[in-house]
Structure 1
Amino acid sequence: MKKPSLWQVSITTSLEAEEAVVELLARVFARASGVYTNEETKITIASVYCQKQAEWTPKKRAALVAGLKQIKASGLDLGAGKISVNKVAREDWSESWKRHFKPIEIGSQLLVKPSWIKRRLKKNQALVVLDPGLSFGTGNHPTTSFCLHEIVRSRKSQQAQSFLDIGTGSGILSISAVKLGYKPVVALDFDPEAVRVARENALLNGVDRQLRITRKDVTKLPLTGREKFDLICANLISNLLVSAQKQILSFLKPGGTLVLAGILKEEFPKIEKAFKQAGLKKLRDLEEGEWRSGSFTFPA
């Protein structure tokens, strides 16, 4: 039986305004968006995918129009700022992803690849098979890549370490953590579609019983009585990192590591200052393209 089509809501913008537009789409639709950038023209298209046409309402269009006006008024080069809505066959959507999703290796410890690509594993290399879903996170984006490197870097063999994935998306980070030996591993996301896709990917990789994936709004979690973790990855938009700062820190063990990603390089100093004021010390950071990510810990 033919699967129902998807509805793609896209905004054409510039590289400069990419993060602001991505954040706008996430706020209006309460889900992550995918981004494609033409390397020659530097034109960026940010998109979200809806299961039903009814999800695209006049109220949401008005919210996008108002948000784009605010972005332009802030001084960012919005580019075309064009909103478009297209009906997309699931098969066409999947095929388009195949052109963008390439295998990635994190040293000799981890290989993440789609199911349609064959690749021989290195000795003792963990494998994560991940096909794209409506919730993004394939490892090719600089912020996801930084998180994966930190998961590998932080893993101490023969030692019990726990991991929390806040904003799990496709589940790539938490699945990788299980494969590398972290235990327990917990993943949170507010988007029900992300939770569904992450659970499917966990099942595909045979780690569904070792990974707890739940739908939660991190900004509304209580600050006490929390399970603590050795390593936390919070790959979220900047506003969420600030508004959920106390909740995120309530999960961190003393001496644990907190990885913050999903941050536009111009916004990183603000995020860094906020978490340093909360008592954290920066361990390292990396700037790649328009993005900057960092790892933090409480001083010993």
Structure 2
Amino acid sequence: MLEGLPPNGASHVMRVDAPEGEARAIAEFLGESFDPAEVATSAFEIENRAEGSGWAVEVYFGEEPDEDMVRELVAIVSPAAAAAAAFSTLDRKDWVAASLEGLAPVAVGPFIVHGSHDRGAVGPNRIGIEIEAALAFGTGHHGTTKGCLAAIVAFGKKRRPAHTLDIGTGTGVLAMAAARLFHEPVVASDIDRVAVATARVNAQANHAAAPIHFLHAPGLSNGVFRRRGPYDLVLANILLAPLKLIARPLARLVAPGGTVVLSGLLPSHANAALAAYRAQGLYLVRRRTIEGWVTLELTADAGRPHRR
């Protein structure tokens, strides 16, 4: 998933509470200011017992950050937030648990993504997806994940996919959503072995493991992708650079008339992603912007022959 995985050992984190608009702006600005391979950012709604709901920003660093420099960057968006920012160090086993504290359940269509502390929030006729503290990040609170969940719901209103592919599965939340909604086979891959192991455990806990084939694979060259395709629905919630790199092999895996969902894109990156996939015969159907992140829904030309 986009939100990333902090490094082995300790994680350095900056956290600050801020109004919703400032929180989103801070997360986006810091996300653009650092290497995404070294820094993971998230803005999310929190439960503030004294004042009701609020928002927070958390930024995880692979190395101990220069606190003065980070505060200067935050101050460009909000001087008040820069002054209030707090820095700390978390053990690897604790960092996700800390990030989940106070997170409200996320509702998208029939899906309710929640932690174990909010199991009671899943009402009748809803699909609960429980994401507990683990070693991969992806709780459903990020705008990219919400955009992909919305795209899954929209696809389901038209038809049921015979096969779904989730590239960059992270905690497995999108793979589980597709498996629980459609009850059809899903292939879920990730470049990170820890993410794959975590996603598999999450799927078992959510009674969604049976339809999902988990795969540790960088890129799409593994023969499993071809053998289990073609795919009517492809979900790729990663980043612009890898999205562009996999455009050609991904297009070869899409069934005629299939849907491809691309996310992990800032508004300034969306056109570059569209150009890469348009060159492979995939065309824009819908563009969603949620919390400053863009999700693109593309369709394969039903008239072209599928290339095995």
- Structure 1 length as normaliser, TM-score? 0.74
**Superposed displacement of residue 156, structure 1:** 5.4
Over 3 Å counting, the alpha-carbon distance change for 1:245 and 1:21 in structure 2 is: farther
Over 3 Å counting, the alpha-carbon distance change for 1:223 and 1:296 in structure 2 is: farther
Moved more, 187-196 or 147-156: 147-156
The residue aligned with 1:33 is 40
Distance 2:117 2:224 in 1: 43
Secondary structure, in 3 states, of the residue corresponding to 1:17?
Answer: helix
**Superposed displacement of residue 270, structure 1:** 1.1
Matched, 1:270 2:260: no
**Superposed displacement of residue 152, structure 1:** 1.6
**Superposed displacement of residue 132, structure 1:** 3.7
Q: Is the CA contact 1:38–1:44 (under 8 Å) kept in the aligned structure 2?
A: no
Distance 1:223 1:206 in 2: 23
Distance 2:258 2:184 in 1: 14
Aligned partner letter, 1:88: D
1:229-244 correspondence runs (5 A):
229-244=231-246
Over 3 Å counting, the alpha-carbon distance change for 1:246 and 1:122 in structure 2 is: same
Q: Is the CA contact 1:285–1:293 (under 8 Å) kept in the aligned structure 2?
A: yes
The residue aligned with 1:19 is 31
Secondary structure, in 3 states, of the residue corresponding to 1:116?
Answer: helix
Over 3 Å counting, the alpha-carbon distance change for 1:11 and 1:246 in structure 2 is: farther
Equivalent of 1:288 in 287, 290, 293: 290
- Structure 2 length as normaliser, TM-score? 0.72
Distance 2:256 2:200 in 1: 30
**Superposed displacement of residue 129, structure 1:** 1.6
Moved more, 288-297 or 87-96: 87-96
The residue aligned with 1:171 is 172
The residue aligned with 1:201 is 202
The residue aligned with 1:94 is 97
Q: Is the CA contact 1:11–1:46 (under 8 Å) kept in the aligned structure 2?
A: yes
Structure 2 residue runs of 5 or longer lacking an equivalent are 1-7, 16-24, 47-54, 303-308
Distance 2:269 2:105 in 1: 29
**Superposed displacement of residue 146, structure 1:** 0.9
1:1-300 correspondence runs (5 A):
6-10=9-13, 14-21=26-33, 24-26=35-37, 33-36=40-43, 45-47=58-60, 86-88=89-91, 90-91=93-94, 93-99=96-102, 101-107=103-109, 109-117=110-118, 118-123=120-125, 125-155=126-156, 159=160, 161-218=162-219, 220-221=221-222, 225-226=226-227, 227-300=229-302
Over 3 Å counting, the alpha-carbon distance change for 1:224 and 1:96 in structure 2 is: closer
Q: Is the CA contact 2:170–2:199 (under 8 Å) kept in the aligned structure 1?
A: yes
Q: Is the CA contact 1:103–1:113 (under 8 Å) kept in the aligned structure 2?
A: yes
User: C-alpha offsets along residues 166-202 of structure 1, whole Å, 9 cap, x if unaligned?
Assistant: 0000100001111112411110001111112101101
Secondary structure, in 3 states, of the residue corresponding to 2:184?
Answer: coil
Over 3 Å counting, the alpha-carbon distance change for 1:111 and 1:45 in structure 2 is: closer
**Superposed displacement of residue 221, structure 1:** 4.5
**Superposed displacement of residue 161, structure 1:** 2.4
Structure 1 residue runs of 5 or longer lacking an equivalent are 50-55
Over 3 Å counting, the alpha-carbon distance change for 1:25 and 1:273 in structure 2 is: closer
Number of residue equivalences:
263
User: C-alpha offsets along residues 200-253 of structure 1, whole Å, 9 cap, x if unaligned?
Assistant: 101101222221111100165479945211101000111110111112222211
Distance 1:168 1:259 in 2: 13
Distance 1:207 1:216 in 2: 21
State the identity %: 25
Over 3 Å counting, the alpha-carbon distance change for 1:158 and 1:281 in structure 2 is: closer
**Superposed displacement of residue 286, structure 1:** 1.1
Aligned partner letter, 1:19: G
Distance 2:13 2:241 in 1: 21
